[in-house]
Structure 1
Amino acid sequence: MTRGEADRALHRAAELGHPRSMLTLVRGLEDGGIVKRDGVAARYWAERAVAHPANDASKAGMLVTLGRLLATSDKPDERARGLDILERTAQAGVFGAKRELAIAIRKDNPVRARELLEEARRPDPGGAIVPLAEMLIAGEGGPAHPKRAVSLLKGVSDSWMAKGMLGQLTLEGKLLPRDIQEAVNLIDRASTWDFDARTQVIRLLAENPQTRISHPEITLYAAVEAAELDEPGAMKALIELKLSANAQFQDRPGACKLIETAVSRGDQTMAQRLADCRAN
């Protein structure tokens, strides 16, 4: 089955009311993969998933997902409804609700957001510690405590989100020693669940051809999938990777085929590169 066939089958199953397919579709629309990311569609299907919950799924957990998605909407009424859902589920003690509420109100009410994350830190270390660490480093909602932030991140050994942030700090080289290979290793740990991390790994591998990853075939598969879906920046990132000197991914003929595809889609920024491919 091709990715396109899987995409159509998943949509069809969700349209026919299959609860588990709705949940899978929500995750895909938010995180990318089988289907292209689409926040509006994710909110629509999250509503449907809450109305038709799978037998083995937590309706309260789906409400948190719906509240989180609605809170990111640029429509004031949807955002207000999302915040209301998160407030109610947080008060009810639903797992993850305090963390998502904190993230949603962080810009407008950083003091309360930081308090909520401190409360959520022990029951939800994998989810709450990363945004809390960001606030501690930046001094949002209270005094800055960068050393505590790093300590908290290092203390959550099984959190892919914490690994991803430690990778960012290692890449930056201010709070941790700069080490590009280690940064790639850590960000790659997060890339399984984070589309932006996947894209960043691809760019880092192209920009730093001496770096290596343990499973290049998985990285390449995800990169091709994103390019096929025409995710923003995905095609360019994959082309740069194949044109780079990175021995795990160097593939000029493959890059030239992708450049042809990009130009056929209307990307005229690739026109000169296509001419170079044809000349060689």
Structure 2
Amino acid sequence: MLTAHPRRPRGAPTLCAALLALATALLPGATAATATPAPQAAPPAAADHPDENWNPPAEYATGLDEVWRHMEETYPDLLGFPNYGWDHIMANGGTLQYCVRWESTTPVTAELRDQIHATLDQQVNRWIEALDGFDGFPYARVPVTVVGWAAADRSTLRWDDDAVDLHIGDLDAAGAPRCAPECDRFHHQDGDYSQCPGGEARHFDQSLWLTDGFGGGAGGDWGQRMGSEYLIDALGQEDITILLHEIGHTLGLDDFYDWTPTGVDSFLMRAGSAQRITDFDAWMARDFWRHLKPRYQL
């Protein structure tokens, strides 16, 4: 589920399709009963964002063009929005910083904490692997640092080292523990962390929000949310489907609940149809990158 701030409206599907032109001229000397040649479909319309470096596989080209046009029509400011996950990576010089919101009474040991950290790094870099070497993307790997944990009660966090900052008892309007807004990129997109204890070095770009009993997932420029039980049960898996899907939303990719691009039917961002990043997902991410690249003056 894509949830961004400001929330992007869900538009009706708009599929790009070539018009069929039918010709029914009779051959010279033929009678009205003579069969006419079968009508031929016109080739797909040319992409409205051509680029000599853009060469996706032929079987994906039409679908990718449909995806981009759909986002142009349904996102309020597709190329002006300033806080995609790409922006976080580039602002930090190729790293990401997270804070974990632990909305659960299940105790967390230092060992479990570190497993969650390692898993988050691994899953973020599943997406980075898809970009490595494409059209000037400058990073082969994006290290992920977890700078803090938030919980309602200190006793839930069963460690006594100072590996991360602790945000205890600071609850949002719905009663969920949150990390300090003063340190949150979502609230400080101008990069001013002067009110954050520890300053810019201890800011976080995104939250990993883990909630007891939360079904499915949500993601946007603020981070990702899913069930705490789901993530714990998935630790050690090569691909954690919901987390990967929601990271895709942080990068700006859309949901596909009500339409499917031409030529594909199974890919990660079409929830329930794939368990890992597919080639089509990778090409959607590359398409997003090449459109945003000019803002970074690379």
TM-score norm. by structure 2 comes to 0.23
Larger helix fraction of residues? 1
Larger strand fraction of residues? 2
Bigger relative contact order, structure 1 or 2 (CA pairs below 8 A, ≥6 apart):
2
Pair member with larger Rg: 2
